Structure 1
């Protein structure tokens, strides 16, 4: 396919292939820009078609260097991320990062956003698979690479801090995460960040940063109303209709949906079921707009919505949503042990949350004991794969006892659903962390 690249480019872009691909923020869109725009516009949910288009462009860079190769490779990584092909997504992100060397690349205005884009995908890929140490290393190396470009703008610094905060929060490194959250709060309130937004420039991963900051504050269960207010403020920033003018919009949109999920989590904690349902509906609308309504990213949203329905006496709707989630993930409770060994598009703790919530619902329904037991077994099998996250607390400690919905068991400490990371994050009951 690669030797047909010029013809493919002419076919997809409707223009002759130029002698070299160059990016200029002031010039008309380059071929690289047009290819990325085409993939975003025309290849929604059609991953193979998107990869074919991008490969046709990548074939023009046999040296595998330069900003255009890096941008196309980063876009390829984003497609692989979207279909939860974590290994390939990580490989493509690393190739894109390696291509960003040389003085001419460092001076290009697209280098920083491309580095951030790759860093974000590496973070997500590692965290979704439970590789927390690798996620921290990826976030740190991204920050170092950005620092090598010179003094960062307020937006770039905020985005970089957001990656590092998410990695520490996921790993349960509370003290470093607390310091990073303070720095991120300061960076995201600077005048330079406000100016960048007003000028309509690329958000540089800001929705992800607001999601990470909101999720951090939402996890501080022992810090009182102040932490909840800070979480709400961060989520409110993150749900703004961000638009990336230079990179793909999938990650920004998913982070925006994550902030709606964060708002819903705060409402669930306060038993504000109507508010939670409204926020989850908005999250679902954004998430479905990214690709399709059967993408695994909608599963955590539908799981939370099912819980809201079960708490507001709409058990039939709740059961329907849980079954839809199981269908999307191809869950088979009759083979729970076998299924738990398969690669998953979600972190095991979110699959365990779905299975446990379904178990809780069936446990309070008449004549559903056998099925409830099957979902409990799957939940336990997935929980056993959560590593340090699951070793600290049990399923019932986190999500409540089996008879929680009937009022005969406690509600559990809960988790913070980080949609953009495809996993749940631990809550913390300490004060002043």
Structure 2
């Protein structure tokens, strides 16, 4: 690195960089890359401590000016990443080699694609150099860490990163299911685009929970009592499903509602004549109003009601997206059951740098085989779309 031009800094507390400076480099309306989202994670203790996520954010300067930022973490496990590398860790262990700690450029607990290297718009002319400098920094860090992982990269940034050179980057693919607004006027218009069988299935599912009441709140309107109710639902569902109370603390959601109020939408599900403070289920959404994307993120319920998860996490989100003109609804990482409900397959991308050459070669073969399988899976999912006519790519 040319010391007279470039300088890098690692920080363990995102508050060490002003929010305006971080967000100016990210230059994104994606709420998950905002300083506020990452700050809420740190202030609430959801990352740091014994969470497995130790902040190690990268700041890059050119002539003393901050030109790029990367949300970066030292990881002591692979929880909360959603790009699964447990098999890699097991292989390292079998050969008596340490896989942890590793470096991960990601948004903790958030499988949402976007930027992982934010470059200030005024430094756009130096973008290739910046990627090269970052690759050089990563290569240096691989003397201390087993690997570096850039998770859920938007395709354009993945291409830029790989094209910069200076570091061998292995590419992995995954598949998610997102809903796209094909200029629907309302939910019935969306249903009309589906085959008769799938349309009837959705109507049947929605009928099971039509006796419940659904209340939407913008972030600024969510009181402490409503956050408490949401978190209670969230915790109870995690306890039943995973045996723990969830990765995120109650304080995280309160801080998120305060720091990113304009992006937060809370759905509370109530029985007859009961106030939202006594909701039986809840789902938290975030919005990117400029890019017209709705994100479904967290949910919980106190009662096992057939069809309620699909209603609160999918159908209410679709209906909200149509009513508010969102072009896309990203309901999270899991799976095939979304397909018959009008969600479409989308390829996700990540990049990986492996320090050990022998492991790098083995992992490269694994990634190639995985990509081939993923392409076959993606094609099969496209062929199984529930629309009357094949949708355009």
TM class by shorter-chain length?
under 0.3
Q: Give the structure-2-normalised TM-score.
A: 0.28
Q: RCO greater where, 1 or 2, for CA within 8 Å and sep 6 or more? A: 2
Q: Give the structure-1-normalised TM-score.
A: 0.26
